[in-house]
Structure 1
Amino acid sequence: MMKVSINQITPRWKDGKIVDVQIYFTATTTDGSVNLSGYVPIDSFTDSIDFKALEDIIKQKVADRILNSESPTA
């Protein structure tokens, strides 16, 4: 299991509107053998923040990137 901590949420603006956000995170396995840090871009962001949902999105995007060598913007 991996514990994800969201450290920062940075909105990116265009014409006075948020077009996407970058979610900066750190993650560690429960036994401490794996540590990750980075950010993932999220383009479907709303005014309310569901941190559990963001953690799930981060886990999925990181897994996709590792397993499929996908671009973080894909």
Structure 2
Amino acid sequence: MADEDADEAGRTRLVEMKLASETARAAATAGGYSAEAWRPWLDAAAAFGAAVTEHAKEHGLNRFELEAKVSKRALHPE
């Protein structure tokens, strides 16, 4: 039960990170390209990817399936 709770808490954190990455992407792509403007998006996306990998390893999950589920939950919550 504790592992399931930790898994769910971790997934909730991943959803929040995915949403932050998408918000940063929207801000970055709203204007013209500049490395400075895109840095927050790239950093957020990299942090999300690393967190997905870590969570998948920790809970014995397929990393790609986890990312797909988290992205779906973040972007299509219905």
Do both share a fold (TM > 0.5)?
no
Q: TM-score, normalised by structure 1?
A: 0.33
Q: TM-score, normalised by structure 2?
A: 0.31
Which is richer in helix?
Answer: 2
Point out the structure with max Rg over C-alpha.
2
Which is richer in strand?
Answer: 1
